[in-house]
Amino acid sequence: MTKRNIHFLFISLWAILLLACSSGSSGPSGSTDLGPTATHFDAPNTQNIFQLNDTGWMYCADDVGVGSCDSNIHLPQDGMYGRDYQAQLATLTKIGGGYAGFDFLKLDENGNILVDQLTPFVISPWSCVYDNQTGLTWEIKSSLGSVSDWVSTYSWYEPDDGRNGGDAGTQNGGNCVGLSCDTYSYINIINAMNLCGYNDWRLPTREELNSLINYSWVGSTLMHDIEYFPDIINDISGYWTATTVAGEPLKVWAYRGVYNPYLTTFDKNLDAHVRLVRSDY
Which of 277, 206, 281, 201 shows the shortest CA–CA distance to 242? 206
Cis peptide before 120 (omega within 30 of 0): no
Res. 97: pLDDT tops 90: yes
Band (277; pLDDT cuts 50, 70, 90) = very high
Interval 154-183 mean pLDDT: 96
What pLDDT is recorded for position 50?
A: 65
Res. 18: pLDDT tops 60: no
Res. 188: pLDDT tops 70: yes
Helix, strand, coil % in the chain, rounded to nearest 5? 20, 20, 60
Kindly state the helix (H) or strand (E) to which residue 184 belongs, with its residue range.
helix 183-193
For 50-59, what is each residue's pLDDT tens digit?
688 887 887 7
Band (219; pLDDT cuts 50, 70, 90) = low
Q: What is the Cα–Cα distance from 69 to 62, expressed in whole angstroms?
A: 9
Res. 116: pLDDT tops 80: yes
